[in-house]
Amino acid sequence: MFSVAALMPAPPVLVPELCGGAAEPGVPALRAAVLDALGALAAESGSWTVLGTGRGQYGPDTVGTFRGYGVDLTVALGPDATAEPDPELELPVLIAAWARGAAAPGANAEVRLLPEETSARAAADFGARLRAELDATPEPRGVLLIADGAATLTTASPGYLDERAPAVQRALDTALATGDRAVLLELDPALCADLVLRGRVGYQALAGLLGRDGAVAAETRFQGAPFGVGYHAGLWRPA
């Protein structure tokens, strides 16, 4: 039975070992908020389904490494994983494995990635199917959404500044803080691609995941753009 969805972004600086011992401004607050949301998820479920942007599915036996980000830190999606670390895993998979190890070492996680070009309808339908699947299991099941907002909010952003981005990010922030599924479903794929808002498909899958509920209880742990990228950490659950 689906119980709760935790939301977090995917900046590599969340991983302390990648920061060289020096935390950039805003990182400690972001990391603390993410760990708080993950702790709430772990308290309700020891079995997570992780959603993110990319391609492929990965089970609890998956092992990866942050070698490509400068540190050969091994992470896994399950406590019993013994495979050789895969250096080619996409960032959402690595972040999911780090999150599991940091917040719930005994938990098992599986990752399902949706291609960035997935339509809004297809993403929502995916979320609805996942909800039916999780509700068919007797034990509590949690979902972890790994998604970033616009990466074009300032001249220091990875995608530089797009004048349209701040308004879109404000609408997204409000929707995530209030549980407004309709606004998430209205995110335009082409515009989001221009704004390097790669979490769009994940947010729309989240809307589908809770589409059958009369209302959503949303809890925000962090909202901000410390690196010119919109980040949100929090929880969504049926009201």
SS3 17: helix
The reported pLDDT for the residue numbered 23 is 64
The reported pLDDT for the residue numbered 24 is 72
C-alpha separations of 217 from 19, 126, 177, 184 in Å: 34, 21, 9, 15
pLDDT above 80: residue 5: yes
Q: Which DSSP letter does residue 183 get?
A: H
Count helices and strands in the chain by DSSP H and E runs? 7, 9
131: left (phi over 0), alpha (psi -120 to 50) or beta: alpha
Range of the domain at 30: 2-238
Q: Write out pLDDT tens, residues 173-207.
A: 999 999 999 999 999 999 999 999 999 999 999 99
For residue 83, the one-letter residue type is A
Tell me if 73 sits within 8 A of 15, measured CB to CB. yes
Residues 6+ apart with CB under 8 A from 101: 75, 76
Tell me if 114 sits within 8 A of 201, measured CB to CB. yes
The reported pLDDT for the residue numbered 224 is 96
Residue 19's pLDDT band, with cuts at 50, 70 and 90, is confident
Using the Cα atoms of residue 55, residue 129, residue 51 and residue 103 in order, give the sign of their dihedral: negative
pTM for the predicted model, two decimal places: 0.97
Q: Write out pLDDT tens, residues 84-132.
A: 999 999 999 999 999 999 999 999 999 999 999 999 999 999 999 999 9
Please compute Rg for the chain using Cα positions.
Answer: 17
Measured N-to-C along each axis, helices 91-103 and 27-44 cross at an angle, to the nearest 10 degrees, of 70
Q: Write out pLDDT tens, residues 22-71.
A: 567 788 999 999 999 999 999 999 999 999 999 999 999 999 999 999 99
If one counts the domains in the chain, the total is 1
Q: Which residue has the tokens 């969805």?
A: 5
Tell me if 182 sits within 8 A of 144, measured CB to CB. no
Q: Domain with 94 in it: what CATH number?
A: 3.40.830.10
